Amino acid sequence: MSRLFGTDGVRGLAGADITAELALSLAQAGAAVLGRSARLEGRRPVAVVARDPRVSGEFIVAAVAAGLASSGVDVLDAGVIPTPAAAFLVGDVDADFGVMISASHNPAPDNGIKFLARGGVKLQDATEDDIERAMAERPTRVVGGEVGRIRRFADAEDRYVVHLLGTLDTRLDGLHVVLDCANGAASGVSPDAFHDAGATVTVIGADPDGMNINRDVGSTHLELLQERVVALGADLGIAHDGDADRCLAVDAQGAVVDGDQILAILAVSAKARGELVDDTLVATVMSNLGLRLAMAEHGIELVQTAVGDRYVLEALGAYGLTLGGEQSGHVILTKHATTGDGVLTGLHVAQEMARTGKSLAELAGVMQVFPQVLVNVRGVDRLGLAADDVIQAAVARHEAELGDSGRVLLRPSGTEKLIRVMVEAREQHTADAIAHELAELVRDRLGTPAEA
């Protein structure tokens, strides 16, 4: 049987994969597992439930709330807020768990259901497995006055904005920021937070209609933001994705500042102020080589993990570190958040500009971005990669040629029959040539897929 939970909750096409029946059953199972401690303590479990603005979220939230209340859980319905806001609120009100309805950067027809454990942290794999097992069992039923209540969490947005502002020690007065909210969950809170922090704010992508989330706006479509920043003469642009757990930036000239550059800016600043625990940053193996070289130059150790913010979070927790993230814009500041928070990240990037008086381009210049080429080789035996001596020898040869001025990474996909070939080099043509040579070799050697 395939696992219901993926790398970030349960996700799929709303109405087909994510149905009302599934949402109800999943909520009842989640109540049984995540509400167990409260019941053992003789009290009623409490859950925070929230969603992004995609239209299917309305029926999914209704089904989730019904499943929780019918299992004896009191529900605080926070409405449309970012995923990191839901995580914060679970901890802020000491709820037993949370449920976020969102498909993040996916298009509007998709949706997902993600649970948050006590304190607003992501679930462990073992806990997700417990929930899947509970779905196959008869749900615990309560009757009469034992059923849960469903109440509106009236001050959810205000609590979150106050929290965000409390993380800043420098106001943003004098900065003109263009915010792209991806027609998503940040459409209300991000403009409020930046405005209250003192910035002059221009907003785009903040008119969600249930179907336009992530459509030609947000962190996956930066063209409009780049255009507006330059046209308005703004100091920077900040782009979120649909559930606002990501942040990418645009400088005054319209150049993109990605997650690696944001991590470099925040890491160097934190080290200078004595706030970077063990002078260590966590990033994934897909981060740009320029980040590693820049961190070494500034005396910062770089811990690299597998791809996925959950692995970054695991490393941060295991080593007690304070800063980590991904090139895609998931940035985790553990002093202030339990997960990636795009609004928080954007505020702290802007704060660094206000604190130093430097432009975003100057701050991003702390690292050189190496040309990076990624080729997805489909329809191959991904399990045969490690054992193929010819491919491994070719990789070793190119690594020796590049030395410290480049990098080669071949990585089987965890979800598809493909192998990702990634090459970095100082010159674009070198990266292109090596990546496509290795991709052709992978096709030739592994082109007849074995059963996975």
- 78-95, pLDDT tens digit by residue? 999 999 999 999 999 999
Q: Is 2 a catalytic residue?
A: no
pLDDT value of residue 21 = 97
Examine the pLDDT at 105 and tell me if it is beyond 70: yes
Q: Which pTM value belongs to this model? A: 0.91
Q: Read off the pLDDT band of 329 (50, 70, 90).
A: very high
Read off the pLDDT of each residue in 244-257 and give the average, rounded to a whole number.
97
> What's the burial of 447, exposed, middle or buried (CB within 10 Å: 0-12/13-18/19+)?
exposed
Q: Annotated catalytic residue: which of 56, 70, 102, 104?
A: 104
Report the C-alpha gap between 179 and 223 in whole angstroms: 13
Q: Read off the pLDDT band of 413 (50, 70, 90).
A: confident
In terms of pLDDT, which residue wins out, 173 or 451?
A: 173
Nearest to 339, CA basis, from 36, 165, 134, 87: 87
Q: What are the phi and psi torsion angles at 149 (to 5°)?
A: -105, 150
Report the C-alpha gap between 218 and 238 in whole angstroms: 9
In terms of pLDDT, which residue wins out, 6 or 170?
A: 170
- Helix, strand or coil for residue 75? strand
Report the C-alpha gap between 249 and 237 in whole angstroms: 5
Examine the pLDDT at 9 and tell me if it is beyond 50: yes
- 15-37, pLDDT tens digit by residue? 999 999 999 999 999 999 999 99
Report the C-alpha gap between 441 and 408 in whole angstroms: 14
Read off the pLDDT of each residue in 373-402 and give the average, rounded to a whole number.
92
Nearest to 178, CA basis, from 207, 195, 208, 203: 203
Contacts of 374 (CB under 8 A, 6+ apart): 420, 421, 422, 435
pLDDT value of residue 415 = 61
Read off the pLDDT of each residue in 209-232 and give the average, rounded to a whole number.
97
Q: Read off the pLDDT band of 401 (50, 70, 90).
A: very high
Q: What are the phi and psi torsion angles at 432 (to 5°)?
A: -60, -50
Query: Both tokens of residue 299?
Result: 């005396």
Q: Read off the pLDDT band of 298 (50, 70, 90).
A: very high
Query: Both tokens of residue 96?
Result: 């037993």
- What is the chain's mean pLDDT, rounded? 94
pLDDT > 70: percent of the chain: 98
Report the C-alpha gap between 100 and 78 in whole angstroms: 10
pLDDT > 90: percent of the chain: 87
pLDDT value of residue 451 = 40
Task: Show the CA angle centred on residue 176, arms to residues 170 and 181, nearest 5°.
Answer: 95
List, as residue ranges, the binding site. 104, 241, 243, 245
Helices in 83-124 by DSSP H: which ranges?
83-92
Q: Read off the pLDDT band of 450 (50, 70, 90).
A: very low
pLDDT value of residue 447 = 87
pLDDT value of residue 276 = 97
User: Where exactly are the structural domains of the chain?
Assistant: 10-154, 159-364, 372-446
- The architecture that CATH gives domain 372-446 is 2-Layer Sandwich (3.30)
Examine the pLDDT at 448 and tell me if it is beyond 70: no
* Domain 159-364 sits in CATH 3.40.120.10: yes
Residue 3 corresponds to which amino acid?
A: R
Q: Under a CB-based contact definition with an 8 Å cutoff, are residues 182 and 219 in contact?
A: yes
Q: Read off the pLDDT band of 200 (50, 70, 90).
A: very high
List, as residue ranges, the binding site for Mg(2+). 104, 241, 243, 245
Q: Read off the pLDDT band of 382 (50, 70, 90).
A: confident
Read off the pLDDT of each residue in 280-300 and give the average, rounded to a whole number.
95
Poorest-confidence range of 45-59, 214-228, 338-352, 370-384? Answer: 370-384
Q: Read off the pLDDT band of 244 (50, 70, 90).
A: very high
The CATH H-level superfamily of 10-154 is Alpha-D-Glucose-1,6-Bisphosphate, subunit A, domain 3 (3.40.120.10)
Read off the pLDDT of each residue in 30-56 and give the average, rounded to a whole number.
96
Domain 159-364 and domain 372-446 have a common topology:
no
